[in-house]
Amino acid sequence: MFTIGDFAQYGRVSARMLRHYDAIGLLRPARTDPVSGYRFYEAAQLARLNRIIALKDLGFSLQQVRAILAEEVSVPELRGMLRLRRAELEAALTAAGARLAQVEARLRTIESEGRMSADDVVVKRTETVLLAELSGRAASYGPEDIGPVIQPLYDELCRLLETAGVTPAGPGLAYYEDAPVPAAAKTGGALAPPGEATPNPPAHTAPGGDAVLVHAGMVITHEALAKAGVTVDRASGRPGTPSAAPVPTGLGFDVVMLPALDCAATVVHRGPMSRILPTAQNLAHWIDANGYRSAGYARELYLECPPDQEDWVTEIQEPVVRA
């Protein structure tokens, strides 16, 4: 048998903790000297101690641990709990990292206010491009909501293009639209007093909510599509019709002829998109200061996307008109 000190050493816990476990009936000593009150433990009790510590580290309270041990949890069951807890901790770590990135972006925005040079912004016309794309819905236009939606879309789009044998002819290009309002939302509450028109929403606010449609696209050619068995109307981007709306190809992705922007204020952002906020807000300051106003969501042209996101180069293309 072991003294409480020796047992604590073997179990890598404190004697104080063992006394507490004894007091709440979680791990009783094998024997307690009736005269001195000294506690003695057996080596076999290390198995129960290990389970107690493992369950505690999984986030269970001591009351829960006692209830679980009463059911005699097996090693495979403990391993299953460990896998579940690991997944929860990884998700929490990812979420915490994303929040930290957003805090850092806000701080960068504050630090860089008013520092953008007029030379950093170029007002120009963009070209009409043929895109292969996948679309998804994000809860808002914020980077914290766009990121988890757009990255899987691009991963899947690249896979589908490779499977179809369609080689991209240019960089990725993402664009955004107001998300449609569900029918229930349209009728569930008054947006304006009876007889009055609902005011037009701001350029970056989806009607009836903050959700946006995310379009993750890759520049392709008509020739590459033709080799994959898809014929596209060169004037519209839609097979056989005059519409420019995204159209399924039968290959798992859509195609669209994305119209040119007649007037776009553009600026280059360097680094991960999670830190785009300072660049976007500095561009907004420039637009306001130079007699323009926004005419819609900005497009993102991904000029360079190496494995290290710190080396990413993205052109932000904000459609503008004279104020």
**pLDDT one-digit tens code per residue, 98-117:** 778 777 766 766 666 655 55
Amino acid at 144: E
| pLDDT tier, 163 (very low <50, low <70, confident <90, very high otherwise) | very high
| Highest-scoring range by mean pLDDT, 1-5, 101-105, 203-207, 228-232 | 1-5
Output the pLDDT for position 207.
Answer: 44
Instruction: Note the pTM of the prediction, 2 decimals.
Output: 0.62
What digits encode the pLDDT tens for the residues 37-52?
999 999 999 989 998 9
Output the pLDDT for position 105.
Answer: 67
Q: What percent of the chain has pLDDT over 70?
A: 83
Amino acid at 276: I
* The total number of residues written for the chain in this structure: 323
Q: What is the dihedral of CA 150, 169, 245, 209, to 10 degrees?
A: 20
Output the pLDDT for position 176.
Answer: 95
Query: What mean pLDDT do residues 205-226 have?
Result: 83
Output the pLDDT for position 15.
Answer: 92
Output the pLDDT for position 181.
Answer: 73
C-alpha distances out from residue 68 to 75, 120, 173, 304, Å: 13, 62, 52, 53
Cβ neighbours of residue 153 closer than 8 Å, sequence gap 6 or more: 134, 135, 136, 214, 216
What digits encode the pLDDT tens for the residues 55-85?
888 888 898 888 888 877 777 877 787 788 8
Cβ neighbours of residue 202 closer than 8 Å, sequence gap 6 or more: none
The answer to whether domain 2-73 has CATH 3.40.50.300 is no
Calculate the CA 81 to chain-centre distance.
Answer: 26
Q: Report DSSP state, residue 95.
A: H
- Listed by start position, the domains of the chain span 2-73, 118-183+202-322
Output the pLDDT for position 323.
Answer: 86
Topology of domain 118-183+202-322, CATH: Multidrug-efflux Transporter 1 Regulator Bmrr; Chain A (3.20.80)
